[in-house]
Amino acid sequence: MSGCKVRIRLRRLKKVRSKRGKGVYYYAWVGGPRIATDAAPGTPEFMQAYNEAIAEAKPPDTGKFSDLITLYKKSTEFTTRSAKTQKDYFRYIKLIEAKFGTVPVSALGARAVRGVFKEWQDELATNG
């Protein structure tokens, strides 16, 4: 059966067309690392680059909110922003991490936590 092809669907793969018409880019997932290859999807070269990209995605080590912040700072959602925007975000990220960095990720779904976040947000707005 030589010449037989196997098709694998990469569910989280994100295809993005360049705004300037420079082509199509692929990301391991929305906000994830870019697939670093010019090879077409489905080729062995593309699959190797895809596997390398998803290997970078490590779950948070301790399950703390600060781990999510670290993952966000490494994501393309953050790294593709302008230097000024990143600088502005860092100012708030430092405050958030100092205040809530040790909060367990599992606690983020609790209703009470939302209230705590909103109170702190109001406090920031009031104090400038």
pLDDT digits (tens, 9 = 90+) for 30-78: 878 888 878 888 888 888 888 888 777 655 456 899 989 998 998 888 9
DSSP E strand boundaries for 3-93: 14-17, 24-27
Report the distance separating Cα 127 and Cα 39, nearest Å.
Answer: 52
Query: Where along the chain do its domains lie?
Result: 14-55, 65-127
Task: Tell the residue number behind the tokens 């205040």, with chain if given.
Answer: 99
Verdict on whether the full-model pTM lies above 0.75: no
CA distances for 29 relative to 91, 92, 96, 97, 119, angstroms: 27, 25, 25, 25, 33
Report pLDDT digits (tens) over 77-113: 898 999 999 999 999 999 999 999 999 988 888 888 8
Report the distance separating Cα 128 and Cα 126, nearest Å.
Answer: 6
